Amino acid sequence: MKVYLLSLAVGLLVGVIYSVLNVRSPAPPLVALVGLLGILAGEQIVPVARQMIAGHGLAAAWRQAKCAPHMFGMLPGRDDAGSPERSARVNAPEKHS
């Protein structure tokens, strides 16, 4: 969740700077988001194609190229049992007040 808040904060800061400089953002928000989606999807074409050339089906190639974690990251509210953050929380000594 910290990454999302940091991303929002940086976005707000850039928006304030644009406003102070009286500059419009380079693209309307929807166009920019569609462009970002294209970038993320485009980054996955080569790894998936390599897996498919190696003889794997599309679903297996998608999984082996780890596209879903790259495309969506760790979604808020999801807790990955193997994540370093979770391990730190689980293994941290309890604080008693």
Cα(37)–Cα(92) distance, rounded to whole angstroms?
37
* Angle formed at CA 65 by CA 11 and CA 67, multiple of 5 degrees: 35
pTM for this model (two decimals)? 0.46
Rounded Cα distance between 96 and 84, Å, is: 23
**Which ranges of 1-97 does DSSP label H, i.e. alpha helix?**
2-20, 29-53, 58-64, 67-72, 84-91
Question: Other C-beta atoms within 10 Å of 37: how many?
Answer: 11
Residue-level pLDDT at 72: 67
- Beta carbons of 39 and 71 less than 8 angstroms apart: no
Percent of the chain whose predicted confidence (pLDDT) is above 90: 0
32 vs 16, higher pLDDT: 16
